[in-house]
A and B are shown apart, each in its own frame.
Chain A
Amino acid sequence: MAKSLQTWSRLDNSAKIYPMLVNKKSQNIFRLSVTLKEKVDKNILLDALKMTIERFPVYKVRLMKGAFWYYLDDNHAKIKVYPLDPLSFRKITDKSCNGYCFRVSYFDMQIVCDFFHAICDATGAAEFVKSLVYTYLNLSGKEVFSDQKVLTVGSPVMREELEDSFLANYKKLPLKDLKVKDMQGKNAYHIKGILFDNVGNGIIHMYCDVKEVLDICHAKGCTMTEYLGALFMMAIYESQIKGKEENANNIQLFVPINLRKIFGSKTLRNFSLFSRIGCNPYEDMEMDKLIKIMHDNLKRDMDKDVLKDKISTTVWAEKFFLVRFVPLFVKRFFFNFSNYFFGKKKKTATLSNFGVLDIPDSMKKHVESVSFAISSNATTPLSLSIISCNGKLCITFTRRITDTQIEKNFASYLTKDGVNLTVTSNFWEVDNAL
């Protein structure tokens, strides 16, 4: 039976945890920004945003507290665009964003979209950003065509876009088959450094030609995620552990896996799981070994059956009656506690490879570059995110510490391998750098 769009929705399985982990200083936010070839007009951007948001009811929501869970309610408040805040990843609050769980900002030639993870992951958000930029270019009088790569304003909202794909792929398992042990694991090495005294993040972008990196990867017989992940672990080791620490824990990267291709989902909400990849800092510090570790772990964690079991485990936890009927304030306490032991303690850093942002050819000539960044916090003070578009690769480091040694080492490995890097930064760690 056909149903009209509901005025509220439950949070999807993986989104449920994010509002509970928000504290005074941190919130799980990611940023997709598009640099155009000319200055952004804020009025046109606002018009484009007003039109685009109507096409994405899944994002036209306000996060609300229920008795047992958070939920998303329709939001009819006025939507705004903001000048880009120098303080990156400022919290997206009910007051500051009129209840919306995302914020669209502009600066010079950039359109910057920050999303709170509770409503979507980067793949879902990218559809919104593509649509926004497409509408913006259209309104600015540019001749652009969607080529079936953009969800254009006026196109029908599909049911699959709104689905909770975790529930759609959940299979009831007997208790003994649940992958609870996989959630455990050894404690990880934590990156050390002096934290910024304000809540901002330092951001460094490294731009290069995708082909240059792919050539290296082909020569080494690995994927880009494996190669850059191995470099990242090596950079952490060289900067933090080598000659400085004895008995350091394993370096463990959390790598999000986009489940859409594997399970054929078109959801615009969250649909990803993490792969935890660890290496021993005293035995595995050779590039070939690290690439093999990355490869083996990703291969293991991207197996459809393994993923199905993981999805079933997380959905089981959500559906377990003791969890369901616990009041929200108790859940908040419990989730924070478990996140500390099963999440933060086991994680050195996050490495998120978005992949390719596929935009129509007619848009490419108006887009200079695209970047993707995820917020970092005091316990995981460094994150690496990667995106490519139009043949240009953008590697972004976000950090909560003043030290840039890891980024410096990472860049030196890349340049030694023959990659030409162009680096930009928000210089959060130095005054008067501009």
Chain B
Amino acid sequence: MRCKYCNVEIGCKAKVCPLCHEKLEDDNSTDALPSAYPSKSTKKERKYLSPSSLYLSIAISVFILCIPINLLTTPEVYWFGIVGILGVYGFVLVRNTILSNNSIGVKIFWQCVWALIVLLVVNVILSKELAELTGAWVWNYGLPTILLSSTLVVGIYTAIAFRFWNDVIVDAMCVSAVGFIPIILYAFNVITQPAMSITCACVSSVVIIFCGILGRKSLINEFRKRFHV
């Protein structure tokens, strides 16, 4: 079948000319020809609401709803701020931890950062009401607990996922190294109660030593890969 306007042969199943879009004289003449491509779906691709957008809309609605309830019932404590920061933390949890393809190290890092921010915000809001609440508990217990938990999680994950040793070992080392931050803060007198900081540093040391001894080759290879310039 030829298009008389473009003077070209039509080489696939078609009702119109691919160039000028004029109707071909004999509709059925190209029926014997194969289609060049699968036919375009007439249905438009449905756009689903992504889980993070769904979460975000629910979280914002709850937050906005909490503001008048808070101001009308307990105006002395602005607890809607805590709801807000928990909403943000939840967003990081959904977007960065549950749904993303990031490595375990990156996921844990952002979890730690936001968990610390949540504690600091909670402290600021509650300290207005409770005069005895200083920021010390965040640093003495909050931060070491967060880092201890993350080191334990990454340590256990590394032990379980020994098949993917290469993928997780650098993350395990980096997360464990961060576990020394509380003991450093103790050295600079930011932390005054050292018990949790010492525990955190000990657990981090154990993870680092095990990773260093058992996975030295993988570790060196992974560092070369990930930090090559």
Cross-interface CB contact of A88 among B10, B35, B37, B42, cutoff 8 Å: B37
Structural contact, B37 and A67, CB atoms closer than 8 A: no
Structural contact, B38 and A83, CB atoms closer than 8 A: yes
B46 on the A face (CB < 8 A): no
Query: Which residues of B, 6-25, contact A by the 8 Å Cβ criterion?
Result: 6-21
Structural contact, A434 and B13, CB atoms closer than 8 A: yes
Residue of B nearest to A371 (CB): B36
Interface centre among A85, A95, A433 (most CB of B within 10 A): A433
A430 to B23, CA, bound (A): 12
A250 to B17, CA, bound (A): 31
With A83-B38, A415-B6, A432-B42 already in contact, the answer to whether A425 and B229 are too (CB < 8 A) is no
What residues of chain A lie closer than 8 Å to B61, measured between beta carbons?
none
Structural contact, A407 and B19, CB atoms closer than 8 A: yes
Interface centre among A324, A411, A425, A426 (most CB of B within 10 A): A425
Structural contact, B221 and A7, CB atoms closer than 8 A: yes
Structural contact, B34 and A68, CB atoms closer than 8 A: no
A94 on the B face (CB < 8 A): yes
Structural contact, B15 and A422, CB atoms closer than 8 A: no
Cross-interface CB contact of A427 among B6, B40, B221, B225, cutoff 8 Å: B40
Structural contact, A432 and B15, CB atoms closer than 8 A: yes
Structural contact, B40 and A422, CB atoms closer than 8 A: no
A145 on the B face (CB < 8 A): no
B189 on the A face (CB < 8 A): no
A94 to B16, CA, bound (A): 38
Cross-interface CB contact of A408 among B15, B20, B229, cutoff 8 Å: B20
Residue of A nearest to B170 (CB): A67
B74 on the A face (CB < 8 A): no
Interface centre among B10, B12, B35, B42 (most CB of A within 10 A): B12
Cross-interface CB contact of A71 among B15, B18, B228, cutoff 8 Å: B228
Structural contact, B9 and A421, CB atoms closer than 8 A: yes
B41 on the A face (CB < 8 A): yes
With A108-B35, A427-B14, A428-B40 already in contact, the answer to whether A415 and B8 are too (CB < 8 A) is yes
Interface residue count on the A side (C-beta < 8 Å)? 49
Interface residue count on the B side (C-beta < 8 Å)? 34
B26 on the A face (CB < 8 A): no
Cross-interface CB contact of A423 among B8, B39, B221, B225, cutoff 8 Å: B8
Cross-interface CB contact of A425 among B18, B42, B45, B225, cutoff 8 Å: B18
Secondary structure type dominating chain B contacts: loop
A107 to B17, CA, bound (A): 22
Structural contact, B228 and A69, CB atoms closer than 8 A: yes
Residue of B nearest to A204 (CB): B18
What residues of chain A lie closer than 8 Å to B225, measured between beta carbons?
8, 64, 66, 71, 73
Structural contact, B19 and A86, CB atoms closer than 8 A: no
Cross-interface CB contact of A107 among B16, B38, B229, cutoff 8 Å: B38
| A71 smallest CB distance to B (angstroms) | 6
A424 to B10, CA, bound (A): 6
Interface centre among A85, A206, A411 (most CB of B within 10 A): A411
With A10-B228, A69-B229 already in contact, the answer to whether A424 and B15 are too (CB < 8 A) is no
Structural contact, B11 and A422, CB atoms closer than 8 A: yes
With A64-B225, A67-B226 already in contact, the answer to whether A84 and B11 are too (CB < 8 A) is no
A-contact bits for B146-157, CB 8 A (1 contact / 0 none): 000000000000
A341 on the B face (CB < 8 A): no
B50 on the A face (CB < 8 A): no
A66 to B103, CA, bound (A): 11
| B103 smallest CB distance to A (angstroms) | 9
Structural contact, B18 and A431, CB atoms closer than 8 A: no
What residues of chain B lie closer than 8 Å to A169, measured between beta carbons?
none
